[in-house]
Chains A and B, each alone.
Chain A
Amino acid sequence: MTAHPVNGLDDVVHQRVRLGILAIAHEARRVEFGFLRTALELTAGNLGQHLSVLERAGLVHIEKGYEGKRPRTWVNLTPTGDKALQEEIARLKRLIRQVEQATP
């Protein structure tokens, strides 16, 4: 008997904003803080907190630097982050399938 997909959900990834950050970083290869903030409609502080959680979990790598006098922060998905994203998407799809199968 296979475990119910809800049991396998990763608390770090199974969160709307953090899943969004991982999805954007996966598609964009690398993404700038400002793009994430606009796309996810978050304040800088809120986004920073979510990024810290992902960085502590080793799912993203954050590069800080300057372009001229303007500070720029770039977010890259790590291989662990990529794997976590794929697993979360697979779990969500499995969950949908199981719910649909259970619905008469």
Chain B
Amino acid sequence: MTDTPVPPNEGPHELLSATRRLTRRVRQAQRGTWFPLLLFVVLTLASIPIALSSHHPIDCRVNSVGRVCIAFSLGSYVYWPLALVLAYAAIAVFYVHRAHQRGVGTRVRPYVITGVIIAVVATGASLWLVTHPGIVGYPLAPPSPAGKLLFRLVSPEGAIGLALLVLAWVERNRALLVFGLVYLAIVGFGWILAPHSFWPIQVITAAVLLLGSIGFALAERRAGRPAP
């Protein structure tokens, strides 16, 4: 029957909650959060040898607390913008292909476009900060906590975290929003754990992303299973 009326036990409440259930089901089919997180794990770990091999101080001064330097890694400034743009292209292909296979469309475009824009803007801002270190007090004082936070937020890891918040909005995914905020907090304040070296932070952020990827993969797998 095509024109079956709404059954008497299905009032507006039931119709709306059925609609919400269907909407959630579509969102679950569209999600593939584990993939970008895993891709960023690979990019973050691959960036460590590149940064270490091309990392050198461009200016050192002596101030009241000792010798302070501005360091620069040419390899990282070439690697990250390229890697992030290619990663977002791969994420777009993955989401479109996966959604198509599952029989739904995808909403990933705003995430990919915003991710690329954030990556380019963050690289530009980071370069500007390195060439204008006076804004964070250099060379008279070591960077303030706010200055360090700013440096971290315009780093590639910060750009990844900011874009994850956009993905959380696109996927209407509260768990990813919480994960993105925790990740950004680790990126932003990770210097407290290792103030004089950058690579332990890279390893920690990669580990956090990996845990997130595994967690979201398991959750997506569970959600895709039919109810017992």
Dominant SS among interface residues on chain A = helix
Whether the pair A31, B15 counts as a contact (CB closer than 8 A) is no
* Stretch of B104-112, B148-156, B157-165 that contacts chain A: B104-112
Across the interface, which residues of B come within 8 angstroms of A61, CB to CB?
Answer: none
A28: CB under 8 A from chain B?
Answer: yes
On whether A29 and B106 interact (CB within 8 A), knowing A49-B2, A92-B12, A96-B13, the answer reads yes
Whether the pair A53, B19 counts as a contact (CB closer than 8 A) is no
A24: CB under 8 A from chain B?
Answer: yes
CA of A40 to CA of B13, assembled, Å: 18
On whether A53 and B103 interact (CB within 8 A), knowing A23-B19, A92-B15, the answer reads no
Among B1-38, those with CB < 8 Å from A are 1-7, 10, 12-13, 15-16, 18-19, 22-23, 25-27, 29-30
A89: CB under 8 A from chain B?
Answer: yes
Interface size on B, residues (CB 8 A): 27
Across the interface, which residues of B come within 8 angstroms of A27, CB to CB?
Answer: 22-23, 26-27
B102: CB under 8 A from chain A?
Answer: yes
Whether the pair A15, B105 counts as a contact (CB closer than 8 A) is no
Q: Of A23, A32, A92, A93, which is in contact with the most chain B CB atoms at under 10 Å from its CB?
A: A23
Across the interface, which residues of A come within 8 angstroms of B26, CB to CB?
Answer: 24, 27-28, 31, 39
Whether the pair A19, B15 counts as a contact (CB closer than 8 A) is yes
Across the interface, which residues of A come within 8 angstroms of B30, CB to CB?
Answer: 28
B193 nearest CB across to chain A (Å): 41
A83: CB under 8 A from chain B?
Answer: no
On whether A89 and B19 interact (CB within 8 A), knowing A28-B30, A96-B12, the answer reads yes
Chain A residues near B (Cβ < 8 Å): 11, 14-17, 19-20, 23-24, 27-36, 39-40, 46, 49-50, 52-53, 89, 92-93, 95-96, 99
